[in-house]
Amino acid sequence: MEWLLELMGHIRKVLYGAPTVQYDNAKKGISFLLDVFAAAVVSWADHPMPLLIGIRAQWFPWQKSSKHIDLPHDLYVNTASTEESVKQCVLAVSYSLKHLLAKEPWKAQSQKFIDWLFSLTEAPDESLSQIARAALLALKSTPEFKKKTVWTRAYGW
């Protein structure tokens, strides 16, 4: 859990151009970090979503793929759709984040996720802002979202 929270902080630093973060292309860096975040959330939230997207439920990195000799692992079902699977994780993050934050110990971190999503919605990158807004509004049934200060801010009132 700490790893994901640290990743969220790192995404915010890169997004807002913190001087301690060095990068060549900020847009590619943010996209990569968001892909990692989305893949983690989708994988940890529930069992069926990764299977629907095309990520295997079991991964043994020490075993070579029998179907694809060129791959050092057997993580993805179809090697041609590897990049597409990661992009599907970004699309599924709003659904999966809701399920992840319904579980312990993640439930206790709901307010941190909401605050982080608010910081992304106010970011200069419009595409990231839309993804964050969708994830934020997907949390509308959580107790933290039902607080007046949260939902009024989320709906722009």
Q: Say what the pLDDT of residue 115 is.
A: 94
The answer to which of 78-87, 113-122, 144-153 has the lowest mean pLDDT is: 78-87
Which one-letter DSSP state was computed for residue 21?
A: -
CA angle, 33 then 40 then 5, to 5°: 70
Q: Break the chain into its structural domains and give their ranges.
A: 2-154
3-state secondary structure 51-116: HHHCECCCCCCCCCCCCCCCCCCCCECCHHHHHHHHHHHHHHHHHHHHHHCCCCCHHHHHHHHHHH
More confident residue, 88 or 53: 88
What confidence tens digit (pLDDT) does each residue in 16-44 have? 877 666 667 777 888 888 988 998 998 88
What confidence tens digit (pLDDT) does each residue in 78-111 have? 555 666 777 788 888 889 999 999 998 999 999 9
Judged against a pLDDT cut of 90, whether residue 118 lies above it is answered with yes
pTM tops 0.75, yes or no: yes
Spatial distance between the Cα atoms of 54 and 48, rounded to a whole number of angstroms: 10
Spatial distance between the Cα atoms of 149 and 157, rounded to a whole number of angstroms: 10
